[in-house]
Structure 1
Amino acid sequence: MKWTRDFGLTMRMLLTSFLLLIVYLIFLGILSALGFGFEFLLLVAAGMAFVQYFFSDKLVLWSTGTRIVGEDEYPELHRIVQRLATEADLPMPKIGIMQSPVPNAFATGRNHKNAVVAVTDSIMRTLNREELEAVLAHELSHVKNRDMLTLTVASFLSMLAFLIMRNWLFIGLFGRRDSNGGALILVFIASILVWVVSTLLIRALSRYREFAADRGSAALTGNPRALISALQKISGRMDYIPAEKKQEVEGANAFFIIPALSGNTLMELFSTHPPLEKRVAALEELQAEMRGY
C-alpha cells in the first residue's frame, strides 16, 4: 500500500503547536510580571511535560484500566493487527484489552516503536471481523500519522491552565507578599482565556485527525463501508450504555474512535470528534471514488 501523507493534518499539528506555544509564553509572562512563582511553575511544567512525553502511553493505559495481552490470549486480534501493521509499514504495536461495556478502541504511544492499540472487550462482541479490522486500521492510522503525541503534548497546556484556574487563590499565596486581589483576578481571567483557547485548538485538531484516520482506514483495508458500519454500530450501542459506565471512561474520549458522552459533563460542549453524519458522508465519498463513480 502506498501511504499518502496528509499535509492538512501535518500543517494543523504544526499550527496548533505554534499557537499553543505562543499562548503558553504569554500566560507565563503574565504570571512572571505579576510576581508569582514563575520558576516554580516552570519546574512543575517541565516535570509534567517529561512525564507526559515518556510515560503518556502508560498513563492512558493505567487511567483506562487497559491490560497488555499476548498473542496466546487473543490470537485472532494479533493476526489482524499484524497484517495491518505490515500493510502500513509499521512495527507491530502492543495490543491492549480494556474491560468495559462501552464498545470502543484507541491508540496511544509517543512514536511508532512505543505504540499501543487497544480495544474494549465489548467491541469485539459488537462488531464482525471486517468491521473490527476497519476500526483497528483507523487506530493504526493514528500511529502512522504520529498525531497521538501531538494531541498529548497539546493537552498539557490546557491541563496546566485548568489547574491554575481551579487553584488560582492557592497559587497566589506563593507569589510576592504585595500581590493583591486585583492581580489574582487577572491571573484567574488569563487562566480562563488560555484554557478556552487551548481547548478549542485541541478540539479542532482532534476532529481533523479523526477524518484523517478514517481515510487511513479506508486506504489500509480498501473497505470504507466496513468502517461506516462499525461507526454506526458503536454509536448506536452508546444509547444503551448506562450513563455512569460512560462517565467512567470519558477522560479518554479524545483518544476513542467514538466519544462516550454521558450527557452529564461539559465534554459535549467541546466535542473531540466530528459529527458521525459528516464522517459517514466523507467515507461514502471515498467509497464512490474507489469504485470509480
Structure 2
Amino acid sequence: MRSRYAPDRGLVGRMVFTIVLLGLLYVVVMAVLIGLGLPWPLVLVLGGVGLFVQWWFSDRLALASMRAVEVSPAEAPELHAVIDRLCALADMPKPRVAIADTDIPNAFATGRSPKRAVVCATTGILRRLDERELEGVLSHELSHVAHRDVTVMTVASFVSVVAGLLMRSFLYGGIAPRRDNRDNAAAVVLLVVVASVAVYAVSFLLIRALSRYRELAADRAGALLTGQPSALASALVKVSGEMARIPTRDLRQAEAYNAFFFAPALAGGFSISSLFSTHPSLDVRLDRLARISGELGRAG
C-alpha cells in the first residue's frame, strides 16, 4: 500500500548508489572467502541469521532496549490523536504507539513493515513540545515507516556484518584457512583480517552516509505532509537545546540507540566527525527546512 508521503528521488538515488557499492564490496568479500578456501557458507549463514533476527524482531528489540510500553488511546489520547491525524493524511496504516519513560526528549519508529511498525515518544519529548512541534516530529517518524527504512538499513548492513564476523573469527581463532604451510597460513590470516577491516570501514561509512540522508529525507517528507516545516524546525531546536540539560550518564546510555532517534543523544563535550554521524548536523537540517518553507511559500 502506497502512502501519500512525497517520494524523494534523491533518497532513492542515494539508496541505489549505496547498495550498489555495498554489493561490490560483497563480491570482494565472497571472492576472498572462496579464493582462500575459507568456510564462507558458515560466515554468510551466521551473518544472514543475525540480521534476519534483528529485522524480524526490530520492533520488540527497540521497545525493550528503551523500556518502552505500548499505550492505548485511553492511556495516551493526545498522542494517539496526532498519529491518527497524520496516518489519515498520509493514507497509511496506523502503527502501534508506545511511550518510553525517560526525560531524554526524543522519538523513534521501527518495525519490519508498515503493518508491524511502532512509533515511540519519550515522556521527555511529550512534556517539552507543543502539539504542532510534536506533529512535526511524529510525521518525520512515520516517514521512516512509509519508506521502510528499517528494511533498507538492515539489507545495507549485511556486508559490514559479514566483514565483522570474519574479523572476529580470525582474531579469536574460530575460523582458520585450510593451508598446510604455517607461514602461508599466518599470511592468509593477516590478509583476511586487513581486508575485513577495510571492507568493514568502507561499508560503515557508506551506511552512515545513507543514514544521514535518510534523516534529511524524513524531515522533507514530514514537512511536506504537514505543510509546516517551521514546526519541525522548532522541535529540532528545542530538542537539541534540551539535550544539554540531560545528565551526561543518561545521554551516554542512550547514544547506543542514536540510529533510531529523531535527534541524536549527545553527551556534553562530545564531538564526532560528520562522516561517522548517524544524523546530519542541526544547521544542515534547519537550512533544508528553511528551503522547504520557501518552496511552500512560492507554491502558495
Aligned to 1:236: 241
d(CA) in 1 for partners of 2:234 and 2:272? 28
Matched residue SS, 2:109: strand
Give the stretch that moved more between structures: 239-248 or 83-92.
239-248
Give the stretch that moved more between structures: 99-108 or 261-270.
261-270
**Letter of the structure 2 residue corresponding to residue 281 of structure 1:** D
> How big is the shift at 1:85?
0.7
Aligned to 2:283: 277
Match of 2:37 among 35, 38, 61: 35
The alignment's TM-score, normalised by the length of structure 2, stands at 0.89
d(CA) in 2 for partners of 1:121 and 1:162? 36
Give the stretch that moved more between structures: 175-184 or 4-13.
175-184
The structure-2 alpha-carbon separation of the partners of 1:237 and 1:162, relative to structure 1 and needing over 3 Å to count, comes to farther
Residues 258 and 264, structure 2, Cα contact 8 Å, conserved in 1? yes
Write the mapping of 1:1-293 to structure 2, written as runs, cut at 5 A: 3-171=5-173, 173-176=175-178, 178=180, 180-262=185-267, 270-292=276-298
d(CA) in 1 for partners of 2:25 and 2:254? 29
Matched residue SS, 1:97: strand
d(CA) in 2 for partners of 1:260 and 1:139? 16
> How big is the shift at 1:220?
1.8
d(CA) in 1 for partners of 2:273 and 2:161? 14
d(CA) in 2 for partners of 1:52 and 1:265? 29
**Letter of the structure 2 residue corresponding to residue 34 of structure 1:** L
Matched residue SS, 1:36: coil
> How big is the shift at 1:41?
0.9
d(CA) in 2 for partners of 1:165 and 1:101? 38
Residues 55 and 150, structure 2, Cα contact 8 Å, conserved in 1? no
Matched residue SS, 2:298: coil
Matched residue SS, 1:16: helix
Give the stretch that moved more between structures: 193-202 or 142-151.
142-151
d(CA) in 2 for partners of 1:267 and 1:35? 38
**Letter of the structure 2 residue corresponding to residue 220 of structure 1:** L
Residues 84-118 of structure 1: CA deviation (Å, up to 9, x unaligned): 01101110101121222221111111221111111
d(CA) in 1 for partners of 2:132 and 2:191? 54
Matched residue SS, 1:95: strand
**Letter of the structure 2 residue corresponding to residue 151 of structure 1:** M
Residues 177 and 189, structure 2, Cα contact 8 Å, conserved in 1? no
**Letter of the structure 2 residue corresponding to residue 241 of structure 1:** I
d(CA) in 2 for partners of 1:26 and 1:227? 42
> How big is the shift at 1:58?
2.1
Residues 84 and 94, structure 2, Cα contact 8 Å, conserved in 1? yes
Give the stretch that moved more between structures: 1-10 or 195-204.
1-10
d(CA) in 2 for partners of 1:158 and 1:243? 30
The structure-2 alpha-carbon separation of the partners of 1:41 and 1:284, relative to structure 1 and needing over 3 Å to count, comes to same
The structure-2 alpha-carbon separation of the partners of 1:25 and 1:14, relative to structure 1 and needing over 3 Å to count, comes to same
> How big is the shift at 1:46?
2.6
* Structure 1 unmatched runs, 5+: none
d(CA) in 2 for partners of 1:76 and 1:267? 38
d(CA) in 2 for partners of 1:252 and 1:123? 16
Residues 52-105 of structure 1: CA deviation (Å, up to 9, x unaligned): 332222222222322222222111101110110110111010112122222111
